[in-house]
Amino acid sequence: MKRLEGQRALVTGGTRGIGRAIAARLADEGAEVFLTGRRRDQADEAAAAIDGGRSRVLGLALDLTDPGSVLACLGEAAVGGLDILVNNAGISRDGLLIRQKPEDWRAVMATNLDGLAACCRAAVRPMLRARYGRIVNMSSIVGLRGNAGQTAYAASKAGIVGFSRALAKELARRNITVNVVAPGLIETDMTRELPRRAREALQRAIPMARPGSAEEVAAAVAFLASPEASYITGAVLEITGGLAL
């Protein structure tokens, strides 16, 4: 029997990058997976591409900055129960603080923190009823160590750590775990947008001397999302090839 057989999972931001790899990995391990995209057609397309139309992976529309959209999405995903929530979706708006526009700060917080908290709030109800749940939240090494030009992103990702540890304590007695993964430099569209010099500097600082892959992050998430990780909660797992910014 596969490790996640009979489990139902929701992965936010699953149309590309790390989220897509997580959705594929959870499905491979036997879970029924909902993946979200900001547009339903993009989510459906990614879902079909992952499982070849076998309907084990389904698309849902989600805009984290819209509380109504969060409730509708989680409501649909939780019909029949929700065992696993992976809060993967996130954005960055980089630039030095001195030049930062207030709307960029707000956009990062609204997506990375407000949206993530709203998803957890909506998912916890069915998990409490089932007395079982696995929540995995996507932070970043930048949230733990900071990075020049990324104050908003770092603050939001550090916020996710505090939020997750507090929620882990709220839910520990109900058999619901809340953990955080903090990747370093992972090869995706988000990091391809980094200026070449910033990328090279980052890569030099990685003891393993290479970026990680989305699949390497997905493997760690799948473990934390599995019944096997039953005594791990409030943990922050760094997936960085040894990088310490």
Q: Which of 59, 90, 126, 133 binds ligand NAD (CB under 6 A)?
A: 90
Distance CA 139, CA 143 (A): 7
Q: Answer yes or no whether residue 38 interacts with ligand NAD by CB under 6 A.
A: yes
Q: Judge whether 101 and 152 are in contact, CB under 8 Å.
A: no
**Of 50-58, 88-96, 123-131, 168-176, which part binds ligand NAD (CB under 6 A)?**
88-96
- Considering only 15, 147, 179, 226, the residue that binds ligand NAD (CB under 6 A) is 15
Among the options 77, 108, 150, 153, which is catalytic?
153
Q: Is 89 an interacting residue with respect to ligand NAD (CB under 6 A)?
A: yes
Question: Which part of the chain contacts ligand NAD (CB under 6 A), choosing from 2-10, 49-57, 85-93, 166-174?
Answer: 85-93
What is the CA 89 to chain-centroid distance, rounded?
5
Least separation, in Å, of the C-beta of 85 and ligand NAD? 14
What CA dihedral angle connects 66, 71, 75 and 81, to 10 degrees?
Answer: 110
Give the count of residues interacting with ligand NAD (CB under 6 A): 27
Look up 153 and say whether it is catalytic. Answer: yes
Output 100 or 213, the one with its CB closest to ligand NAD: 213
H/E run at residue 179? strand 176-183
Among 191, 218, 222, 238, the residue binding ligand NAD under the rule CB under 6 A is 191
**What's the Cα-to-Cα distance from 50 to each of 37, 45, 218, rounded to whole Å?**
14, 9, 14
Question: Are 82 and 10 spatial neighbours (Cβ–Cβ below 8 Å)?
Answer: yes
135 alpha-carbon distance from chain centroid = 9
Cβ atoms of 234 and 178 within 8 Å: the answer is yes
- Under 8 Å between Cβ of 138 and 188: no
* Residues 109-128 interacting with ligand NAD (rule: CB under 6 A): 111
How many whole angstroms separate alpha carbon 42 and alpha carbon 40?
Answer: 5
Stretches 2-10, 62-70, 167-175, 229-237: which one binds ligand NAD (CB under 6 A)?
A: 62-70
Binding part of the chain for ligand NAD, among 25-33, 86-94, 118-126, 163-171 by CB under 6 A, reads 86-94
Q: How many CA atoms lie within 13 A of 86 on its CB side?
A: 33
Q: What is the smallest separation between the CB atom of 177 and ligand NAD, expressed in angstroms?
A: 19
Contact mark string toward ligand NAD, 135..164, x via CB under 6 A: ---x-x------------------------
Q: Give the other-Cβ count within 10 Å of 20's Cβ.
A: 23
Active site residues: 153
In the complex, the residues that contact ligand NAD under the rule CB under 6 A are: 12-13, 15-19, 37-38, 62-65, 88-91, 111, 138, 140, 183, 185-186, 188-191
